[in-house]
Amino acid sequence: MTANGTDVPARMHGDRVDWVDYAKGICIIMVVMMHSVLGVEAAAGQTSFMHYVVEFAKPFRMPDFFLLSGLFLAVVIDRDWRTYLDRKVVHFAYFYILWVTIQFAFKAPSFAAEMGWAGVAKLYALSFIDPFGTLWFIYLLPIFFVVTKLTRRVPPLLILGISALLEWLHLQTGWMVPDEFCARFFYFFAGYLFARYVFAFSDAARARPALALLGLAAWAAINAALVHAGFSEAPLLSLVLGLAGAGAIIATGTLLAEKRWLESLRFCGEHSIVIYLAFFLPMAISRSLLLKFAGFLDLGVIAILVNIAGVVGALLIWWLAMKTGARFLFERPDAFWIAPRKKAVRLQAAE
């Protein structure tokens, strides 16, 4: 078995699989794009041409992220529970608690104006039960990791079938954890269960780039047509589009990695969780400044600039933290480890 947890060799960039970081880079930029575009449109009270880009990506934006997060689970799932919980639960819990507190510190005054400080305290306490704002992804990942390990002895195809049924239900309870668990666990488990086939698919795209490009063009046309027609969220079809879109992002990441084009995407993917944690602040600041002082720009252009500011700003915050002794913002301190610390620590969704 190779370092990626499969029997399929993969191209490496240092100790990382190249196309995986490209694919994660695409995903995290799309996530920041969604929040940037919708935030700008909500503040301006109108939509922009970027709204259509966000809608196009909706069927596969998060499914692909979760599928990629499950790819390397086979490498670590057999570890003892203490080590497993340290790497897969405590790790993400630390960053969730830290960054939800940071987000509340910035947003508390505006919340207090609406609901009073007692309401702010209640909302903060509630965030440990129902994940807050943009941070629900790293809240849900530990749950996925634990559920997958607990069900090791259950036939995997049964788990896959149940998770597909849960996705088909399109559960809407109003609570983030059950709703998003049902909507996303299928993709995470599929990434874990079919990792070797995902890597084989990547290798096939690398070996036949012309065919891969043709497939990407066909997928883009079909995905756009179904989104435009309003069918993309239909039961079962949403699952198919999620898988197809994940495949498209994997193929795209593979082709870009092969040519070493857009290395900035790979860098963003390597630091995708860093961006995910910190983008809210530069996004909010740039949105406010651009809408106030650059109102002459097209709203879609403003949304793009906010998207760029969110990604670059998050990486700048990370760089400053690494240089100024604030590493605890992105690296877990020794006091918060419950198992022997790894020699090399990286903030990432999968080891």
Q: Is the pLDDT of residue 108 over 80?
A: yes
> Where is 9: in which H helix or E strand?
none
Strands 12-13 and 16-17: antiparallel
**Residue 294 — φ and ψ, nearest 5°?**
-125, 40
Q: Identify the pLDDT of residue 268.
A: 96
Contacts of 136 (CB under 8 A, 6+ apart): 176, 180
Task: Give the tens place of pLDDT for each residue, 8-30.
Answer: 445 655 578 999 999 999 999 99
Domain ranges of the chain: 12-336
Task: Report the sign of the C-alpha dihedral through residues 164, 81, 334, 13, in that order.
Answer: negative
Tokens found for residue 28? 């995290």
Task: Give the tens place of pLDDT for each residue, 24-50.
Answer: 999 999 999 999 999 999 999 999 999
Residue predicted with more confidence, 343 or 134: 134
Contact by Cβ (8 Å): 51, 36 = no
Contact by Cβ (8 Å): 312, 282 = yes
Return the number of other C-beta atoms located less than 10 Å from residue 281's C-beta.
16
Span of 7-21, 93-107, 169-183 with lowest mean pLDDT: 7-21
State the Cα–Cα distance between residues 99 and 88, nearest whole angstrom.
17
Q: Is the pLDDT of residue 340 over 90?
A: no
DSSP-derived secondary structure letter, 13: E
**Structure confidence at residue 343 as a pLDDT band (50, 70, 90):** low
